Amino acid sequence: MSKKGKKPADSPATERPRPIASTVAPPPARSAPVTSASSPPTAPPKPTQAAPPDALIWFDKRVKITLGVFVGIFLLFVLFKWHYISLPAWNEILPDGGPAKRGLVAGTPKRIRMDDYAVGAPWILSNANTGFKTENEAVGGLKTPLLTLPVKHPIIIFKIGYWGFMFLDVERGYSWMYNSSPLILLLGTFLFFLLVSKNQYWLSLTGALTLFLSSGTVRWSFIPSSMIGYCGLAFVGAVYLLRSTNPKVYIPVAFGLIWIIVSFAITLYPPYQIPMAYLFIFLLIGYVLNERKLVFPPKSVLVKLISLAGALLVAGFVAYLFKSDVDETVKAVSGTVYPGKRSETGGTGFIANWYSEYYSWFFDDQQFPKGWLNICELSHYLNFVPVVSPLAIALFAFTRRIDWMLVGAMAFVVLMWLWMEVGYPEAIAKATLMSMVPTRRGQIPMGVGGIVLLFLYLAALRNVSLSDLKQAIPVWFTPVAIVGIVAFVVYTAYVNINDAEGMLRTDQTFMPVLFFILMNGLLLFSLNIRYRMALFCGGIILFLLPNLKANPLSKGLTPLTENLVYQNVKTLVDKDPDARWIVNGSQFVTYMVTATGAKQITGVKYIPNRKQIFSVLDPTMKRDSAYNRYAHVTFQTYINGAQGDTTILAQQYEDGYVIAGDPCSPKFKKLNVKYMLYDHAPQIPYEVRCMKKAVELGSMTIYERID
């Protein structure tokens, strides 16, 4: 930590060129000032002090202000219940005569993000309405909420996104949950870049904002954000633990590091976690190699190990409780048909292509090449790797100095490219755990690695003096590099025109090609470009800023909670919370019923509820392969008098199946199915022979079983 009024000799304000692997050093001694006989006596100047050894990140005023702004915006959003989830889409999906923009502050809801507004939000409301319990059959069997939802359990210590539900109202808790993820990204990556760039403020801020604004982050509702941020924070914590000699620093850092690692681990999304863990491990190894003279021999090893052991003991106790409670559920998830245990070997490539982000302005959630699946699947990160990598290698050659962090980042990107485009042998894929990383998901961490590589390279350029390199750079290098940059950017246009299925014309690519020729040209260290960093940082933020329109600005949960279907169903659920429900019709109506906290057999199930539901519907497990999956479950009437009481469980698609049967079947009476909501008129009076109308909602009717 800094001391007020003091500044390190090589603080960002001095901006002196430094060697790539240099460390912060005190300024050279200065001679006493010479004064003339006529000049008045002056006090001797105060010596400029270097940052303390533990102050690897110099927390000057602007860094503190920046961190405060990040936290302040987060708290402001929580206060106003703002978030970026497309919940107002419900106003169109199930219109009830209410305001068309209920819950919408600005922007346009994106129907493509139904995992957030149609699955996630109803699940969260369901668990809130049932008291944040660890079991909730409306979302799945066993202890599904422990894996997916806010619950009252010690494990919540490591789930910062769920903290808001424990002390705020549900709407502000929901805002806290979704806004905490980008906050973690901004804090973690800003501090990471400050550390590895040796406190280059503007470069660090731009690096953090680039990861924040990239479509691979934004269009996935910031799902990757917390994982990226935790990796950055873990890197910073590990470096402080290695370098610090002050127990007031490294003891709390040890506990914080364990908290961060556990928080990252229980995010439980291996397709992102595994590659990103490799990326930051490679970077940490590179940092240790760069700074080996300061790291070795290690200092205060025993106390640091004791601190880590103490933190691990506390974390291990909570993890043990969590594992004991969730072990059966994890085994059940792993044993499903879908997603089950992944066994990937890679080699299937990108959904779009590695350079599609250069032309992302031409596509949106309604307009994109059909072969690219959807706007979320094709989104990733700007790719400067084909330019940065050869330039970094040339820089190593000309300076005769290797930056091992750059080497680590390049190695990661190359290994990810091999995974994406070529694949690994099955044994290697399993041994490295990459077998759990589908390539369509691997493109996100690969893109993150490319952005980290880019900013590490830019940081290295600040530490190199062009005048010192002039003698080492051959005359042919600059023109050849310029031709290579132009050829590369033209090639990106060629690839995208061919991939875009006629949606991108050659003439449309002129401005992006020109822009990215200039952007990539700014990376060429042999060109003496004034304001290089300012131009590049400004250019990349300018290009990415429109991604903020990818999600709407929404408020609260009113598109669900004020909908007439929700309110009428919830009234019945509150009167009879143990009764089970079935929706006969639209899957979207099932999502709405789930939100009320109803014990619903239809809806989205994380895993099947074998003990309570399928032990009755399929006691011999004859149709297990149809329902043993994460699935969207619907119901339709099927009455076959010749075969008696027949229930059919039929898979419709990879993550969906239908239950077909007689609504008045004794099986449903045994399951205490008391309410059935029809979104259409029953086909024949016979199918509701055991029911009476409870509530009429326009074209929908809620029937109550009476026999």
Look up residue 49 and give its DSSP letter.
P
φ and ψ at residue 604, rounded to 5 degrees? -95, 125
| Within-domain flag for 538 | no
Given 472, 505, 526, the domain boundary residue is 526
- Are both 393 and 501 inside the same structural domain? yes
Give the integer Cα–Cα distance in Å for 251 and 244: 10
The residue assigned the tokens 């009024």 is 5
Indicate if the alpha-carbon torsion angle 661, 664, 668, 673 is positive or negative.
Answer: positive
- Token reading at 212: 């924040």
| Within-domain flag for 274 | no
- Are both 592 and 499 inside the same structural domain? no
| Within-domain flag for 172 | yes
pLDDT given for residue 55 in this prediction: 63
Domain count, the chain: 3
Given 3-state DSSP classes, what are the helix, strand and coil percentages for the chain, each rounded to the nearest 5?
55, 10, 35
| Within-domain flag for 24 | no
Which residues does 602 contact at the CB level (< 8 Å), separation at least 6? 581, 582, 583, 587, 590, 593, 633, 634, 635, 659
| Within-domain flag for 535 | no
- Are both 175 and 309 inside the same structural domain? yes
The residue assigned the tokens 């939000």 is 121
| Within-domain flag for 309 | yes
- Token reading at 548: 């903020």
DSSP string, 110-136: -GGGHIIIIIIHHHHHHHHHTTS-S--
pTM: 0.90
The residue assigned the tokens 């319990």 is 133
- Are both 433 and 493 inside the same structural domain? yes
361-377: b (≥16 Cβ within 10 Å) or e: ebbebeebbeebeebbb
Look up residue 10 and give its DSSP letter.
T
- Are both 128 and 157 inside the same structural domain? yes
pLDDT given for residue 642 in this prediction: 65
Given 526, 554, 575, the domain boundary residue is 526
pLDDT given for residue 220 in this prediction: 95
- Are both 441 and 577 inside the same structural domain? no
- Are both 195 and 323 inside the same structural domain? yes
On whether the CB atoms of residues 241 and 257 are closer than 8 A, the answer is: yes
- Are both 437 and 581 inside the same structural domain? no
- Are both 375 and 244 inside the same structural domain? no
| Within-domain flag for 420 | yes
pLDDT given for residue 640 in this prediction: 84
Given 526, 553, 575, the domain boundary residue is 526
DSSP string, 457-500: HHHHHHT--HHHHTTTS-TTHHHHHHHHHHHHHHHHHHHHHHHT
Chain segment 345-368, per-residue pLDDT in tens: 999 999 999 999 999 989 988 889
- Are both 476 and 588 inside the same structural domain? no
Give the integer Cα–Cα distance in Å for 564 and 466: 68
Cα–Cα–Cα angle for 415, 420, 422, nearest 5°?
85
Look up residue 352 and give its DSSP letter.
S
- Are both 321 and 347 inside the same structural domain? no
Boundaries of domain holding 489: 279-290+342-526
| Within-domain flag for 335 | no
- Are both 377 and 513 inside the same structural domain? yes
pLDDT under 50 in the chain at which residues?
1-54
